[in-house]
Amino acid sequence: MDALPNDAEDSGPSIRDMLAVNLRAARSARGLSLSELARRSGIGKATLSQLEAGAGNPTIETVFSLSRVLEVAISDLLDHRPRGGLTVVRAAEVEVLRGEGVDLRPLRRIEAENSVFEVYDQVVRGDAPQRSQGHVGVEHTVVQTGGLRVEVAGRTVDLGPGDYVAFDAREPHGYTALTAPVHSVLLLQYRADERLDGRPHPCPVED
């Protein structure tokens, strides 16, 4: 097998850099000031200013909260899109987006017609539960190792290696490691124009 060209393994811009660019664009598209976004998201104005300047330290909770308030997919805040060809993502070269109880490594955004899929390597650490108030899409998780408890809108299910769960990610949900760490694959699926309330985004006004 031929060796891969160097650019096939280019990890691209950092999460911090992509969030800075995409956050400014999403906030501008919604016509929100930093103060208003801070009020709606519960994230301090100074923190948001740092994130937009590429100087912040984003967490899973921060990114999910911004996704919910701005009504955009998570990958719309974090994505840099490969130009095609052979795409190789080395685990050691992917930045970790860390939360209270989960480490996420964004691997790929896949678009097919009007559907979008985000693929993540997910590790549930076990030091704390990971909670979410909800975000766009359907969440799919396949457990590879360990034991995982998934809570969705008051319902609880325990999973082991090879088990799969899917649910409406707009519902409040959480992950807890029963046998830590839990290694799993997380797939988020949504329509390209989907909003938190299920309605399509309004068409942007062009200059």
pLDDT of residue 81: 56
Residue 111, domain extent:
97-191
Task: Spell out the alpha helix ranges (H) of the chain.
Answer: 15-30, 34-41, 45-52, 60-70, 74-78
The DSSP code for 6 is G
Distance from CA of residue 31 to its chain's centroid?
23
Say if residue 128 is in the same domain as residue 171.
Answer: yes
> Could you tell me the pLDDT band of residue 64, with boundaries at 50, 70 and 90?
confident
Say if residue 104 is in the same domain as residue 57.
Answer: no
Tell me the pLDDT of the chain averaged across its residues. 83
Say if residue 107 is in the same domain as residue 69.
Answer: no
Express as a percent the part of the chain with pLDDT over 90. 50
CATH of the domain at 53: 1.10.260.40
* Phi, psi of 112, deg, nearest 5: -140, 110
Stronger pLDDT, 77 or 164, i.e. the higher one: 164
* Phi, psi of 60, deg, nearest 5: -60, -45
Check pLDDT > 50 for residue 89.
Answer: yes
Query: 13-35 pLDDT, tens per residue?
Result: 788 888 888 899 889 888 999 99
State the pairing for strand pair 173-191/115-124.
Answer: antiparallel
pLDDT of residue 71: 84
Distance from CA of residue 94 to its chain's centroid?
14
Contacts of 47 (CB under 8 A, 6+ apart): 38, 56, 62
Angle at 138 between CA 22 and CA 159, to 5 degrees: 120
Say if residue 109 is in the same domain as residue 56.
Answer: no
CATH of the domain at 142: 2.60.120.10
What type of residue sits at position 166?
Answer: A
Ramachandran assignment for 153, one of left (phi > 0), alpha (psi -120 to 50 degrees), beta (any other): left
pLDDT of residue 205: 32
Check pLDDT > 60 for residue 185.
Answer: yes
Stronger pLDDT, 205 or 191, i.e. the higher one: 191
Which residue, 177, 172, 171, 145, is CA-closest to 158? Answer: 177
pLDDT of residue 80: 59
pLDDT of residue 48: 94
Query: 102-127 pLDDT, tens per residue?
Result: 999 999 888 877 888 999 999 999 99
pLDDT of residue 194: 64
Query: 35-44 pLDDT, tens per residue?
Result: 999 999 999 9
- Asked, for residue 186, whether it belongs to a domain, the answer is yes
